[in-house]
Amino acid sequence: MEIIPKLATSQTIGAVRHIDEYAEAGARYVNTGQQGAANTQRAYAGDWRRFTAWCREHGREALPADVLTMAAFVTALAEAGKKVATIQRHCASVSKAHQLAGLPTPTDDRQLKTLLGQALPARYSFLLPLLAVLLLLLFRVLRRSERGFHRAVRFLNVLLVLLLALEAYTGVRAQLRANERLHARRIDFRPAARDSLPDVFLVVADEYAGEEELKRLGVDNSPFLDSLRRLGFQVVPGARSNYIFTEYSTASLLNMSYLAVEPVTNPKDVSQCFDWIRQSEAARFFREQGYAIRNYSIFNLEEAPSRVPDVFGVRTERLLTEQTFTGRLWRDISYHLYLRGILKSQKNRYKARDVNETLLQLVNAEIARTDSGRRFVYTHLLLPHSPYYYDAAGKPNGLERAYRKEDTAAYIGYLRYANGVYLDLLTRIRARSRRPTVLLFMSDHGYRYFDSNEPRPYYYSTINAVYVPDSLKALWRPGTSNVNQFRLLLNACFGQQLPLLPDSAVIIGEQKTF
């Protein structure tokens, strides 16, 4: 299915072209419209210029600015160690420029006020009378007779038991439904001939953009693709993913099917994706054929858990807990304290890098194994996914730039660095293969951050290179999508007769969490 429309690029240029004009005009607005001391006027004008420079650097619209732009700017200031008063002054400057230009100000948005911590006391002010009522009730209970107190305790115990029973019933019911969905999506595999079955290596490069998208970014990736061809790979033209979120794309890939999910990411569907990955049909097929499952990825597989710290599972847990009252309360309070410098971030800023290095060590050790059993080897690297730790030459980027998802130049540099890593890995797999081997090198989705005005279908553009016998390469036709990857492989190399599915792009929006 063709999903790449022919669109003019002028719409993606205009926003950036006018930012310099906005900077000077906005500074004049602020200078002439702001009443107060000269120092205050200079500070506001300087804040506005800093905001427009940040917008220019990140390819965002400065005037009018939307709330997401302001939220990203505020977060960048906080991570740079700016005091809360400085951040609020920047917001006031942006607000003043919008007012003087006759535009609605993004700083009035409720979500942004929550992010700034301004709305925190107001949002949870109802807790004060609630706590007062609870204290009064507790005081009355304590004033009652001992018998009355024991009766109240007994009532609370019975209530707790009932709530636990209800929770257990809900959990069992949910598990039964999950089992029903699991059996409903099961594929009826045919027995495979056991002679000369190949080893299978699946190497997933997270967020590696396809040739169509890279050309749009002005990147010529043909030297890397030509290197793959010289290794014997068939590089699939116009390859694409079916989803643009890793959990969804991986679940669809490993189960060879589309997902019955909502049109926006949500805790239930994300959690279900992890279950589908863990109990995937591809792994089940290889297990039934007597293959050893070697999992060197960021996901858990049944009987083969991940060997690295949790990466994406934390996101699922957060999506679930943030829907509760206590989760929302802690999120708002902790960000409020972080913004004021009271609470320090405990995030391991090098976690993705460490995960990649560990996975590469594990898969290299697997390549060197000398036992003769059949194996399905799955590795999934967060490369060139952000953070963009290295430039094209392998020189470390600073953390501020590494975590700037919208920095297209940093992404391209990290992708070129990734080319060397993957080419070295694939070459070693080819050279050390002890038996017939199939290699699948692919990405889960494309790059998603280079321009908010960019046609969304380009986010689905991926790389897909397969190493199979020459007589089978033509089966991977142009435009092949991830959902058919294992259907083609099992049909070609394992005697299955699985029908191919339409190569479609499924649009799913991302749930906002702030």
Closest to 265 measured CA to CA, from 244, 241, 250, 242: 244
- Evaluate whether residue 115 is within a structural domain: no
Q: Which domain holds residue 23?
A: 11-110
Helices (H), 340-407: 351-367, 399-402
In this structure, the answer to whether residues 308 and 430 fall within a common structural domain is: yes
CA distance 198 to 211: 29
Helices (H), 217-266: 222-230, 246-255
Q: How many domains are there within the chain?
A: 3
In this structure, the answer to whether residues 139 and 282 fall within a common structural domain is: no
Helices (H), 289-346: 313-321, 325-339
Q: What is the pLDDT of residue 15?
A: 34
In this structure, the answer to whether residues 164 and 250 fall within a common structural domain is: no
Q: Within 10 A of 30 (CB to CB), how many other CB atoms are there?
A: 25
Q: Within 10 A of 157 (CB to CB), how many other CB atoms are there?
A: 10
Mean pLDDT of the chain: 80
Is the previous residue joined to 457 through a cis bond, with omega within 30 degrees of 0?
Answer: no
In tens, the pLDDT along 7-17 reads 222 222 233 33
CB within 8 Å of 231: residues ≥ 6 apart: 426, 427, 430, 467
- Evaluate whether residue 123 is within a structural domain: no
In this structure, the answer to whether residues 240 and 387 fall within a common structural domain is: yes
CA distance 101 to 33: 10
CB within 8 Å of 369: residues ≥ 6 apart: none
Please say which residue of 175, 196, 213 terminates a domain.
Answer: 175
In tens, the pLDDT along 186-214 reads 899 988 776 779 999 999 999 999 999 99
In this structure, the answer to whether residues 190 and 154 fall within a common structural domain is: no
- Evaluate whether residue 119 is within a structural domain: no
Specify whether the backbone of 330 is left (phi greater than 0), alpha (psi in -120 to 50) or beta: alpha
In this structure, the answer to whether residues 364 and 446 fall within a common structural domain is: yes
Contact 277, 254 (CB under 8 A): yes
Contact 300, 254 (CB under 8 A): no
pTM: 0.68
In this structure, the answer to whether residues 245 and 137 fall within a common structural domain is: no
Closest to 294 measured CA to CA, from 192, 379, 364, 373: 379
pLDDT over 80 at 363, yes or no: yes
- Evaluate whether residue 472 is within a structural domain: yes
CA distance 38 to 25: 18
In tens, the pLDDT along 446-487 reads 998 865 555 577 899 999 999 999 999 999 999 999 999 999
Domain of 248, CATH number, reads 3.40.720.10
Please say which residue of 77, 110, 143 terminates a domain.
Answer: 110
In this structure, the answer to whether residues 145 and 236 fall within a common structural domain is: no
In this structure, the answer to whether residues 330 and 390 fall within a common structural domain is: yes
In this structure, the answer to whether residues 311 and 218 fall within a common structural domain is: yes
Residue 22 corresponds to which tokens in the numbers above? 């906005």
- Evaluate whether residue 507 is within a structural domain: no
User: In the β-sheet with 234-235, what is the strand arrangement from edge to edge?
Assistant: 234-235, 464-467, 437-443, 199-205, 375-381, 292-296
Residue 444 corresponds to which tokens in the numbers above? 């889960």
CA distance 90 to 108: 14
In this structure, the answer to whether residues 418 and 327 fall within a common structural domain is: yes
In tens, the pLDDT along 160-195 reads 888 788 777 776 776 666 666 656 668 999 887 767
Closest to 57 measured CA to CA, from 16, 21, 98: 16
Domain of 36, CATH number, reads 1.10.150.130
Closest to 209 measured CA to CA, from 409, 466, 443, 20: 443
In this structure, the answer to whether residues 256 and 318 fall within a common structural domain is: yes
- Evaluate whether residue 118 is within a structural domain: no
Which one-letter DSSP state was computed for residue 55?
A: H
* Residue 346 burial by Cβ neighbours in a 10 Å radius (0-12, 13-18, 19+): exposed
Q: What is the pLDDT of residue 112?
A: 62
